[in-house]
Amino acid sequence: MIAMSTEVPLKINIEEAHRRIKPYIHKTPIFTSSAINEITESELFFKCENLQRVGAFKMRGAVNALMSLSGVQLQKGVATHSSGNHAAALSLAARMNGINAFIVMPRTAPGIKVAAVESYGGKITFCESTQEAREKTLEEIINKSGAQFIHPYNNYRIIEGQATCAKEILEDLESPDFLVAPVGGGGLLSGTCLSAAYFGDKVKVIGAEPSGADDAFRSIRDSVIYPSINPKTIADGLLTSLCERTYEIIREHVYKILTVEDELIIKAMKLLWERMKLIVEPSGAVPLAVVIKNPGLFRGKRVGLIISGGNVDIQNLPW
């Protein structure tokens, strides 16, 4: 059904991805905060993917995956199942290319996420909220429409796209000691690992994960992909588990995966809102929460943190 490369992306693939997507994405700024540096006693550099198109880094991978398809493949549109930022990003990327995006969403998805996908022109089909129902509904839609399935992370073109975020950090920031990225399905973290290896100079990559959804931490520790069963965290972008493609890359390249409790995630999120005036979703605050939790590791270090997104219901905040 899906034609994908089975080869881990090379340096040149990420460079090509970056050239391909540049006209369609924002080069997001890197901000610093002397107040937060004082608190953490380190030098933090926040890569603001909350200011990316659709409010999340997902735009990078979605554009790259879509634009890597041939004209014939694109003709009948693209499809995915997602209740989050990948669905919004794929919808916008499709609209920019004048094709359809078919999005399968659980009936239970928050109204604000449904509205976002609709606003970018995605064609939504609702289903029950089980993984099984999602996959079955998606298959029906693909069979009927002939659309190309774009998995949110188990896809090397997606991983290449997400990798361009760390590539930009490394182009702008002189010799950071660490890069910290949140980890859910692992698309962003695996891309960050690859860019660190190809474009970095001994920079260590750390995955930041909510302790209520610590399947990636356990998967790397035990060298087996654990599914994410009943994850319980406010970081709603990080509920999924690693997959074959992301796991292999992360296992080989990641320095550590560090977990952190929701209480500290909310504290970090509030710091970013109050001190930096940036709207950051809970998932995007997990890297800072990890830095706050591990002062011994980060003290005096230069750290690039990826603020992965800013899509949060501002009428329903965790404080």
- Write out the binding residues for its own copies, residues 43-82 only, by CB under 8 A: 50-51, 55
The strands making up 101-106's β-sheet, listed across from edge to edge, are 123-127, 101-106, 78-81, 148-149
Rounding to the nearest 10 degrees, give the CA dihedral for residues 241, 56, 265, 203: 80
Angle between helices 244-253 and 187-199 (to 10 degrees): 40
Q: Which range touches its own copies (CB under 8 A), out of 192-200, 227-235, 258-266, 310-318?
A: 310-318
Strand partners, 45: 304
Report the chain's C-alpha Rg in angstroms.
18
DSSP H or E stretch at residue 276: helix 262-276
Q: Which is nearer to its own copies, 45 or 198 (CB)?
A: 45
Q: Applying CB under 8 A, does 30 fall inside the site for its own copies?
A: no
Q: Return d(Cα 254, Cα 248) in angstroms, integer.
A: 10
Task: Compute the least distance from the CB of residue 125 to its own copies, in Å.
Answer: 25
- Write out the binding residues for its own copies, residues 112-151 only, by CB under 8 A: 119
Whether residue 201 contacts residue 175, with contact meaning beta carbons closer than 8 Å, is answered with yes
Cα torsion 311, 316, 318, 319: sign? positive
Q: Applying CB under 8 A, does 31 fall inside the site for its own copies?
A: yes
Q: Applying CB under 8 A, does 310 fall inside the site for its own copies?
A: yes
Q: Which range touches its own copies (CB under 8 A), out of 17-25, 73-81, 205-213, 269-277?
A: 269-277
Q: Which range touches its own copies (CB under 8 A), out of 70-78, 79-87, 213-221, 277-285?
A: 277-285
By CB under 8 A, how many residues form the interface with its own copies?
20
Among 276, 288, 292, 306, binds its own copies (CB under 8 A): 276
Q: Which range touches its own copies (CB under 8 A), out of 102-110, 183-191, 285-293, 308-316?
A: 308-316
Q: Which residues bind its own copies (CB under 8 A)?
A: 29, 31, 35, 50-51, 55, 119, 270, 273-274, 276-280, 310, 314-315, 317, 319
